[in-house]
Amino acid sequence: MVDETSQFFAILTAVGEDKQVKANSGLMSWKLTHMAVGDANDTNPIPDRLQKTLINERRRAPLNSLGPDPANPSTLVAEQIIPAEDGGFWVRELGLFDSDGDLVAVANCAPSYKSKLSQGSGRTQIVRMNFIVKSTANVVLMIDPSVVNATRKYVDESITTAINKLDFKQSVLVASTGPLVLAGIQAIDGFVAPAGSRVLVKDQAQAKDNGLYLVGAESWVRAVDADSSDKVTPGLLVTVERGTANADTVWQLITDGPIVVGTTPLTFQWAAGQNVPTPAVDDRSKRSANTESVRTQIESPKQAFPVHVYRKNRLINGAFQVWQRGKSGVIGKANGDPESAFGPDRWMIYSPKNAMCNWSQLPLEQDANINEAKFGLRLSRQGEGQGWNLSQRIENVETLAGGKVTVSFYMKTSVPHTCAVILRQNFGVNSTEPNVDVGTSVELTTVYKKYVVTLDLGAVVNKNKGVANDFLEVIFASWGTGAHYTDITNVQIETGSVATPYDYRTYQEEHRACLRYFEKSFLQDHPIKSNNGPSTCIATFTQAAAAQSSQSALRMDFREIKRVVPTLKLYSPGEQTSEVWAQSLGKPCTLTNIQSLWATGFALSCVPPSGSVPGYTLQIEWTADAEL
């Protein structure tokens, strides 16, 4: 019996729980398609996670909408419309089905009779199911728009979208009179524009940054009616409300199409209203506020710059300039267990069971569409299973925690497929906290495209942090199968919800940052090469003891202090054996030992070979690995 003590709720089924774990891990994109209603055979049902069907299903149809609850992002709201002509049954139970036909969520509800028109009391009824998930990022709606009804919300949004594409835009509060820093609250044309104000930006040094913006305490974003190429078209008109110079004026976009927002230079010209601009001294016929404005930007010492202005990309070697381990390699086995290893500096590559992944440096000199990028990484896979993983670990789990984080990158593939983008918080050695993953997926194509993903990264306050090696990790997980290759470059992670242009650093800066984690004596990847091969930095010592006598404290200092005391491997010059060579004699020493090892360098002891004398040159090559 239903009364005031009855409880109504929705839960994931066991099948649904399993699929959500896979979706959160980036292993699948979970597509929800249908909702069913039932009468539970006139009982008062209690949802059971082991259910695979409703007790007595009466109707199943495609979902109309699926999305997070605005008041609680961890709650998904699924909605279905039952039209007036359907009915003649009680609704006591609800079920949600995915594209595989599995029941993934089940709910009970207060009994409601759905009448139909033939009974003389038909009505359209909306049925909603609210259920809690760990992350909504990889849960998507898949519908057939030809068989679902439109909700009022959908109609309203469709009308708004159509209005946003019109040339005459909603008015702006103020318009710029010179170049602006597109961040923070500031005075514009004699008026302080508060947060949320619309601003016409028309005077930037780079005209591609012109347009309509919303003022924000941090980075500004483009206004919703002018943030994409289908909304910014030649002839766009906008009225300015306030300002010393631009109040009550109308400005027109005179740039010819086609226009790509963020790429095409946008030129605005006075069209109507007061304060007609005075022609320039050289009397050019088409003076515009953008092309004739002063290029000097005056910065106040009190100007509050957003974080990314002075501390931007948190990744190292995001443009794949540094390749200390060589410019190609292979991970995995055609028949064997999964394998992972480092490829280009700071980047780890994982290949699943019974698959191989070749990695190689990709020159990009011919691809002028990717800013200043010179190199990329190509991952070519063969074998069974799905794709590969590419990841980089950033020291300290506190990195960017508790806010919005934007990941941007360029990627293309030989065979279109899905790629997951995941941020993982790992709390380190001996921590009792499980990894926390947030992520989503993108669809890769056969041409380079810039992808931008913004994720909400959880706070780590009061979390149980381990004794060492905690980190934030970015993971790209390819779901492609069969033989194919994927190219990637210009990977950037930054705070906030805006993807700013890639932060290029010189080779010297990137290489020095990489040395904290891995260093070797032979500079195989350096852009300057000698005629006889790569430049080298062999550890060289002068023999002090007689032959067959112990030579101790042969010391080598690292060029950069390592993250931790590294793992050291020794090689004779040009060989793969752990030996110190008497270079003058061309023979190896015997009994070579690592006497001391620090984060700053190492010391060796060895016994010089017979025939050597004090003053001979002793040489060794080495690698020092301190990666996370």
* Mean pLDDT value of segment 551-562: 86
Residue 621 lies in a domain: yes
Query: Can you tell me the distance from the alpha carbon of 267 to that of 492, in angstroms, rounded to the nearest whole number?
Result: 30
Considering 238, 272, 305, which residue would you say is the last residue of a domain?
Answer: 305
Return the CATH number at 594: 2.60.40
Lowest mean pLDDT among 104-108, 149-153, 427-431, 491-495: 149-153
pLDDT at 576 over 80: no
Judge if 351 and 500 occupy the same domain: yes
Predicted confidence at residue 240, as pLDDT, reads: 94
Judge if 117 and 225 occupy the same domain: no
Query: Can you tell me the distance from the alpha carbon of 179 to that of 164, in angstroms, rounded to the nearest whole number?
Result: 26
Mean per-residue pLDDT of the chain: 84
Lowest mean pLDDT among 12-16, 290-294, 467-471: 290-294
Predicted confidence at residue 535, as pLDDT, reads: 42
Residue 322 lies in a domain: no
Query: Between the CA of residue 82 and those of 41, 45, 102, 103, 381, what are the distances in Å?
Result: 20, 21, 21, 20, 47
Query: Can you tell me the distance from the alpha carbon of 93 to that of 76, in angstroms, rounded to the nearest whole number?
Result: 18
Residue 284 lies in a domain: yes
Domain range for residue 126? 10-151
- The single residue listed with the structure tokens 């849960």 is 139
Whole-model pTM: value is: 0.53
Q: Kindly report the length of the chain.
A: 628
Judge if 169 and 298 occupy the same domain: yes
Judge if 379 and 506 occupy the same domain: yes
Query: Can you tell me the distance from the alpha carbon of 544 to that of 542, in angstroms, rounded to the nearest whole number?
Result: 6
Predicted confidence at residue 230, as pLDDT, reads: 87
Predicted confidence at residue 152, as pLDDT, reads: 53
Predicted confidence at residue 411, as pLDDT, reads: 95
Residue 313 lies in a domain: no
pLDDT above 70 coverage of the chain, percent: 85
Predicted confidence at residue 155, as pLDDT, reads: 53
Residue 131 lies in a domain: yes
Judge if 174 and 227 occupy the same domain: yes
How many H-runs (helices) and E-runs (strands) does the chain carry? Answer: 5, 41
pLDDT at 386 over 80: no
Query: Higher-confidence residue: 60 or 123?
Result: 60
Q: Which residues pair with 198 in a beta bridge?
A: 214
Q: Cis peptide leading into 258, omega within 30 of 0? A: yes
Query: Can you tell me the distance from the alpha carbon of 165 to that of 157, in angstroms, rounded to the nearest whole number?
Result: 13
For 86-144, what is each residue's pLDDT tens digit? 889 999 999 999 999 999 999 999 899 998 888 877 778 888 888 777 655 556 555 44
DSSP string, 202-263: ---SSGGG-EEEE--SSB-EE-GGGSSTTTS-TT-EEEE---TTTTTEEEEE-PPSP--TTT
pLDDT at 312 over 50: yes
Judge if 252 and 358 occupy the same domain: no
Judge if 488 and 341 occupy the same domain: yes
Predicted confidence at residue 307, as pLDDT, reads: 45
For 14-56, what is each residue's pLDDT tens digit? 999 888 888 877 777 788 899 999 999 999 999 999 999 999 9
- φ, ψ dihedrals at 349, nearest 5°: -115, 135
Judge if 348 and 478 occupy the same domain: yes
Judge if 69 and 134 occupy the same domain: yes
Strand ordering across the sheet containing 268-273:
237-240, 249-253, 268-273
Judge if 147 and 174 occupy the same domain: no
Report the 10 Å Cβ neighbour count for 9. Answer: 13
Could you say which DSSP state residue 434 is in?
Answer: P
User: Strands 139-141 and 30-38, how do they pair?
Assistant: parallel
Judge if 300 and 188 occupy the same domain: yes
* Mean pLDDT value of segment 302-324: 73
* Tally of domains in the chain: 4
Residue 4 lies in a domain: no
Query: What confidence category does residue 468 fall into, taking pLDDT thresholds of 50, 70 and 90?
Result: very high
Query: Can you tell me the distance from the alpha carbon of 31 to that of 38, in angstroms, rounded to the nearest whole number?
Result: 22
Query: Higher-confidence residue: 298 or 24?
Result: 24
Judge if 145 and 173 occupy the same domain: no
pLDDT above 90 coverage of the chain, percent: 50
Residue 361 lies in a domain: yes
Return the CATH number at 485: 2.60.120.260
Considering 151, 177, 199, which residue would you say is the last residue of a domain?
Answer: 151
Q: Are 189 and 245 in contact (CB under 8 A)?
A: yes
Predicted confidence at residue 366, as pLDDT, reads: 59
Residue 360 lies in a domain: yes
pLDDT at 145 over 70: no
Considering 447, 480, 512, which residue would you say is the last residue of a domain?
Answer: 512
Q: Where are the alpha helices (DSSP H) in 258-417?
A: 289-292, 307-310
User: Strands 581-582 and 522-523, how do they pair?
Assistant: unpaired
The DSSP H or E segment spanning 20 is helix 14-24
Query: Higher-confidence residue: 528 or 485?
Result: 485
Query: Higher-confidence residue: 541 or 154?
Result: 541
Tokens at residue 178, please? Answer: 């010179």
Lowest mean pLDDT among 10-19, 226-235, 243-252, 295-304: 295-304
3-class DSSP state of 390: strand
